[in-house]
Structure 1
């Protein structure tokens, strides 16, 4: 009887909640956002509108007309296992914020969570939704909100990880655009252990699905990026160029637009252009008031000295971003400066790359004062110095136009990665249901492993503490730089009496000679800047010399660069395990005086690229180039197959192929390398990294890394070897910028011989050229499944060399000092027998060779 009564009580509660949501739906579906212009009326129905003033005892009315309901009125949305604490109302003072001041009342109260808690909303119309979160650590008698650390996630996305607001005067406003696919939406607040979470206000509101198309123009490599519908977006910047701040009161979708003043570089070069907002005429298709209000299109910056024939500068905006993510960049244009059609032609540049050329707005929109927008996707690999730089400048050599360029609005939105995260390298929990027995077995195994690990670490900690010298707490060593995370747990089990560095390396790993800091100072003449031969994210590479005259390549880490340290550690981990005649070798290390220094073998002839173009060096002959390609392919083949899981290099290019004194090729720079997929996996999901021109387009689109990504990059290298030009050259005509596309187009037309390096064009046997180009073409297949393995590529190159020697083509005058050597570094006798024996190298064999230097960092 009691059970039936409880069931009826729960049913009644459910019906009441459902009725409340029905009332909300009935009211919000009548809430229509209308934006009128002279040419059209745009209407969008807000099917879902949830506005919550968290912790407030009453509703909060904003000056834009919106009412945020208090938590008690919204309690049906909240799910928690605790009594929710409401903060006292407090008036902020000396606030520093990027949040709109109109929303200030929302920051006066907060809801505090001691344990994981959730808001759940019914979704009446699945699709795009805005999620806006407000955070301000206002004063509370019991809880210090500035010490709160927590994560925020949805059903499929991590929005914030270990988030905190340390400054009590700061207001933080986060805005996301999420594609919901079910009839429920959950937002979860997860406090860090012994901490708590808080939130001041929440908006969850419908957005038009057409607001973001599924595809956009990719900046690097050029092409089309698809799949935006599957990604979550975080608004990083939304700028009203040359205009004032716009609040939800001025925007059709309750967005905030901030002025661009603090992001614009060289204000002296810009001139304001303004027209009445009513003069903006939205087209029948394309831009609408939902894309941006007419206030945005009614202002613009143009070039201050437009009309001067030699105006070569560009209008420039610079914004700081997280370099680990890709970004959607939306540019808003409206020609409010021209007197007639076809007067304005200009280019768009993103991070120095031409994203669009010869834009003629009057032709694109069929008139003047008509809005137009263009979306671009910038890959994480194209972001340098944690910045996105957008530029517009006049198209050169257009005699019929006045040199000028304009921009009306700019939006930058972070794209979620393949794991669905927008903050760090974390993903939501796997929600696939497991059988109870399997779950218990996994939990038991995990518990056993965890227990053993803790016991071992405790014993190691006691032993290490017993043998630590007096004053060890104040010492700074390389080991103190190592972040304690899962990626480097394998380092935490070694021992050493001489250096703390060794204590973080796995047992059995041989890092070679232990150098003292004074030895390396002497070898580099006190790290003389004249000895610097390379610079990267890790720091600098110095050319050094030991007392016996042996040359050394000395890589000195930079403690202030966390990204460089991660790459540095990846290289240590790989080079301590890998030994191959076509991979650079680690000689030793130094761990003193807060230093992080590695010493490598020196490659006296530097990077392969310098011998192809761009340096005043003798040109390599065709056979020498083939030998180097074969050596590189062997090194990469060993990386892919030399261990159970394999290693993906992820940055294959001619500057990372180094040559020793005998011109033997060795693959270098493993800072971006990743362990390959396991037997149960087809790929590794990871943020896109690599170099312009070499990046696998499939990896760029899907963020799924495989060994075939290295194969694609190596295909670009092969054409670079053949044509002796950069993989990407923005200075060339548009159809020639990308080497891979340019070479493949000539190959399809049967005119490849026109672009071959003239230094070798007359020395290549036709059969060898055919086999070489066949290998390159297969490497550049659009989809990884259609590309060969590095073993197959190696076979093709060996065969091409055999065909070349069998035809005995005359060599062009190359580098006379470059000797042809076999895989053991000895002079080759191929000239004597005219034949070549193709042998599989001993992949585990060690090779003693000169010491290497990395001449150019990424």
Structure 2
């Protein structure tokens, strides 16, 4: 490494080879690198700005000559020398491949077979961008997708054991690193037996003040200082509400992606935009066109105008993140929706925590359409399920008129950990920092306790197995369920033990199933009842005839099947290409293998042949509750008494989920399409693909990403991402209004005030005129006392805060009370809605519920499920 300190010299050398001597070519490059380069990548953007970086290294690695891009930037080839041949080699993309859609910098690569270094002379210390470009093409000598290697600077690990497998598009890793010395290095270290490669490198000075050193800390609330002490990796850069911004359209070469792939519940938001020429930047220079392109500030997402959205809901974006790191989050704002000052007040939440309360952009910027941004740090302890959630929502109690909230852009940057790494627990010197995930001492102690408990559990399991082996003759016949029934507990049966003669090991032992299911089954922890052969199910479903499809979801399709003995089945066939479907399949097996209740759809068995994953359920001949309310014109309307009985059945199933299992279970997707009816109109709850284990006694909630069906979602869960059993109670409250009014929970085709059923019904209830919107088929058939008790229960279910909602057991009690009031008012049970005889109104007096509570939290072992139900699941 030689050369003038201020000349920005760059050349690679090996760790074992002395720096090469100067050559005429090298001297020429030194002079060339000292030329001032002005970046003006926004020649096609609405507003042209320019920036002249002090350091501007653009390298086309392995290229034979300089390469000029369409944005005017020139990538120079890295210097060549025979002293590199032992550890480096330049390769090209194989001929015959269409390269019209690929940037020229990806047509070549430099390969390192040993540890090698690029050295840079830094002319102005400070924050620099490093962008590493990778395109794993295949070359006659190298298949770049097999390379495994690490990259670090002198102080920071950028990539550890990095590889790119079968990527059809280039991969760019982008970093912001502060260099305080006059020299900087990029060190490539191949793993043993492998090699490293790189297609292009950018090392460019960032504008002064681009990253502030002190920002807002979310938890604990306060200020976070010393950002310059951390290396940053750009994880996401999003143009909210706007189009994709390509690197050549941004002065600083940044790419801004649209927000649609990150938005949860897109119906909550609406795109807005204004002419970019209307955007202003503050006079104090705190925000400039270099902070973000003008296009970012001229587009936004705001709250949807229609009542499709509960005014307490927030617009939400979710991104994958690692719980081992803290993150710097920059949010870009520009009030392009208000007509006057101080009209827009909204809150900002990060991972369910308050980031900014009652943000008033017009006060902060002294005007409308003025660019503004705010930085936050969220630490690793706030990241749950490896997810970052960013939400904006209306500030409660503001007098600004119509509630609204906006966001124009966002950037998410990973911060280096205590090892000085952005990719794992190993420091540059190879030392291991096991606390890089910021584990607390309490967490370590709990892990040790958990390990000890696990050992004890294994010992107890061994003792139980010994006792099981010594069971008396005839035990199995006396105590086991029929092969048609699902075992009660996982320990009583496992998938592996059900597969005879090692068929599982034969099929999956030596390779991974294409469907990706085999590893899940291989755990041997699931009780799945009868094992069907693929041929059996092919025959039962007429070779999975499309005419037999009775349901479609993210997992695949549900087919109506019939065995030779006439038994009807619902056959759910997984779609191997659906990652969501695989996850929901796994969750459903895990849940149903532990549950059995008269009001839960029963899992009968499965099939694992031919890389398939097929689950078999009882068939519910009368389909989903929704079809009996408004979904199918060919079905007769249910009477009020029948509707009450269906709601009571569903409530019993949910009450059992919450209290009857070993650990409570939250369904998380309660709706009328997931309440199925058998041939006797017995209601059973179905679809456990989104279910979650309830919080333990020491917890108040489960922190998890928001999932469910719009219109039924608990607004508190949506807002805080804290799931409890009361979230199911809220959803069930929507179901109760749906049953009463016979209309969907959300219907965008209706006038604005009627779109959201829960809000619309509550408005009429507050007026004391709810009877005006009930199902016309029920008019004149409902006892006022029964209706009053039913609506009281529904209103409590829909309370804004979970602590104010009843338990599912309380809801069940009230529904049974409403049924008794209805039957008493009619003189006797009567399912005929047209029969008005003996109908009268009783005074409200305490009655004993029909269903005794003691039976709800026990497993219904005596009732063998009729094999007659269908787990119809709507696609989400």
Which TM-score band (shorter chain)?
Answer: 0.5 to 0.7
Give 1:251 shift. Answer: 3.5
2:690 match: 672
1:513 match: 530
Task: Return the TM-score normalized by structure 1.
Answer: 0.56
1:282 match: 279
Give 1:232 shift. Answer: 9.0
SS in 2 for 1:690: coil
Is the 1:174–1:235 Cα contact (8 Å) retained in structure 2?
no
Change (3 A) 1:740 1:53: farther
Q: Which runs of 5+ in 2 are unaligned?
A: 1-36, 79-85, 117-124, 178-185, 219-232, 260-273, 300-316, 322-328, 338-368, 374-406, 415-421, 424-433, 464-493, 836-845
Q: Distance in 1 between matches of 2:601 and 2:87?
A: 61
1:587 match: 604
1:704 match: 722
Task: Indicate whether 1:555 and 2:552 are aligned.
Answer: no
Superposition RMSD in Å: 6.7
Give 1:433 shift. Answer: 3.9
Task: Indicate whether 1:541 and 2:558 are aligned.
Answer: yes
Is the 2:49–2:289 Cα contact (8 Å) retained in structure 1?
no
Change (3 A) 1:298 1:429: closer
Is the 2:92–2:107 Cα contact (8 Å) retained in structure 1?
no
1:598 pairs with 593, 612, 615, which one?
615
Q: Which runs of 5+ in 1 are unaligned?
A: 1-30, 72-84, 116-123, 179-186, 216-230, 261-274, 300-320, 336-369, 375-408, 417-421, 494-503, 818-832
SS in 2 for 1:722: helix
Give 1:479 shift. Answer: 7.5
Is the 2:87–2:114 Cα contact (8 Å) retained in structure 1?
no
1:574 pairs with 563, 572, 591, which one?
591
Q: Distance in 2 between matches of 1:151 and 1:630?
A: 60
Deviations 1:538-560 (A, max 9, x none): 22222222333332222233333
Q: Distance in 2 between matches of 1:599 and 1:461?
A: 14
Q: Distance in 2 between matches of 1:549 and 1:835?
A: 42
Is the 1:189–1:197 Cα contact (8 Å) retained in structure 2?
yes
Task: Indicate whether 1:845 and 2:845 are aligned.
Answer: no
1:431 match: 438
SS in 2 for 1:710: helix
Change (3 A) 1:281 1:797: same
Change (3 A) 1:478 1:587: farther
Is the 2:129–2:202 Cα contact (8 Å) retained in structure 1?
no
Change (3 A) 1:113 1:610: farther
Is the 2:655–2:808 Cα contact (8 Å) retained in structure 1?
yes
Task: Indicate whether 1:761 and 2:779 are aligned.
Answer: yes
Change (3 A) 1:725 1:295: closer
Q: Distance in 2 between matches of 1:208 and 1:797?
A: 58
Q: Distance in 2 between matches of 1:161 and 1:738?
A: 50
2:792 pairs with 774, 791, 803, which one?
774
Change (3 A) 1:109 1:195: closer
Q: Distance in 2 between matches of 1:191 and 1:452?
A: 44
2:170 match: 171
Deviations 1:341-394 (A, max 9, x none): xxxxxxxxxxxxxxxxxxxxxxxxxxxxx99999xxxxxxxxxxxxxxxxxxxx
Is the 1:139–1:145 Cα contact (8 Å) retained in structure 2?
yes
Q: Distance in 2 between matches of 1:810 and 1:641?
A: 33
2:641 match: 623
Summarize the alignment of residues 327-342 of structure 1 with structure 2, pairs less than 5 Å apart: none
1:653 match: 671
Is the 2:571–2:617 Cα contact (8 Å) retained in structure 1?
yes
Give 1:748 shift. Answer: 3.0
Task: Return the TM-score normalized by structure 2.
Answer: 0.55
Change (3 A) 1:62 1:586: same
Change (3 A) 1:804 1:652: same
More off after superposition, 612-621 vs 766-775: 766-775
Give 1:428 shift. Answer: 10
Q: Distance in 2 between matches of 1:208 and 1:722?
A: 56
Give 1:290 shift. Answer: 6.0
Task: Indicate whether 1:609 and 2:664 are aligned.
Answer: no
Change (3 A) 1:62 1:484: farther
Q: Distance in 2 between matches of 1:131 and 1:702?
A: 36
Give 1:201 shift. Answer: 5.0
